[in-house]
Chain A
Amino acid sequence: MTEVVVTLNGEEATIPGPASLAALLEHLGLDPRAVAIEHNREIVRRAQLASTPVAAGDTIEVVHFVGGG
């Protein structure tokens, strides 16, 4: 598999690709049910993760819930 360079949570990252967002989460070891994804500023619903491709230069944010008031 080749690689693509994306901006992942604000940092440049080299990830296996082209691949889907679902594959990216798997690569990162993250459970899709515990995170939310923004892909180029658009939220991607969980059901769409497998069908959303990641391309070189994309900006991806992966967030989850942390302690807060």
Chain B
Amino acid sequence: MDIDTPFEIGGRQFRSRLMVGTGKYAGNQQMVDAITASGAEIVTVAVRRVDLDRSREESVLHHLSADHFFLLANTAGCYTADEAVRYARLGREAGFNEFVKLEVIGDKETLLPDVAGLLEATRILVAEGFTVLAYTNDDLITALRLEEAGAAAVMPLASPIGSGLGMLNPYSIRTIKSRLSVPVVVDAGVGTASDACIVMEQGVDGILMNTALAAAEEPVAMAHAMKLATEAGRAAYLAGRMPRREVAVPSSPELGMLA
């Protein structure tokens, strides 16, 4: 049974609502196996200097074929709009598409976004023809401004990057989803399958995770669990949950009991 609509960002359809990162795995084979088990099509990568002392060092492209995965360059580690724009341009040149997962970080401790810098960088990159997926906090007004600035998707956090705390504010996530026209993809903070499922039950379009897979005891097995959880959460959202009641209602008939 498939009553879902296609998952589309920037005019492009994707087969999975789960996006995954490529960082922090114990090895390249484990990364490839986990990503394959997750069923993700969109896979994020970072842009960094080539280590020229080990110039034969392989790029992540060596392990992830652009024929099978949609590589989404990020601007992780950038703290100003100028820096993020520079990394986005380099990512576009190194990569295969106009998409960028835009991060402008405002604080080293929490890795929370600098929303002023994020808006500025979004405007610049949209004007240059980029398809911007903007990593932001769970603030409705920022999300609305990002949409106005031309972001192709808005990516509010569930909780801080790498924290594994799960979704801290379902109300904010639902509000953002209900008010935006562009896709909403929750990015960062999920720790285990139930977190991902609850995120998807809010009705958001997709979810992005990295550490929840890479830091699991068994990343490949967790990737499989996250695939199921993402699908289950989406299916439950589409199915429409029963109302919450604070009283019990029997499931079995009250009639026909023995005297």
Residues of A within 8 A of B (CB): 8-11, 13, 28-30, 34-38, 43, 45-46, 61-69
Instruction: Say whether B48 contacts A66, CB under 8 Å.
Output: yes
Quick one: given A62-B49, A62-B50, A63-B49, are A69 and B74 in contact (CB under 8 Å)? Answer: yes
Instruction: Say whether A69 contacts B52, CB under 8 Å.
Output: no
B76 at the binding interface (Cβ < 8 Å): yes
Instruction: Say whether B94 contacts A68, CB under 8 Å.
Output: no
Expressed in whole angstroms, the Cα–Cα distance for A43 and B188 within the complex equals 30
Expressed in whole angstroms, the Cα–Cα distance for A17 and B86 within the complex equals 27
**Distance to closest chain B CB from A19 (angstroms):** 16
| Interface range, B side | 35 or more
**Distance to closest chain B CB from A24 (angstroms):** 11
Quick one: given A36-B90, A45-B93, A69-B23, are A64 and B74 in contact (CB under 8 Å)? Answer: no
B202 at the binding interface (Cβ < 8 Å): no
Residues of B within 8 A of A36 (CB): 47, 90-91, 93-94
Instruction: Say whether A68 contacts B44, CB under 8 Å.
Output: yes
Expressed in whole angstroms, the Cα–Cα distance for A9 and B24 within the complex equals 23
Expressed in whole angstroms, the Cα–Cα distance for A37 and B93 within the complex equals 8
Residues of A within 8 A of B56 (CB): 29
B29 at the binding interface (Cβ < 8 Å): no
**Distance to closest chain A CB from B203 (angstroms):** 24
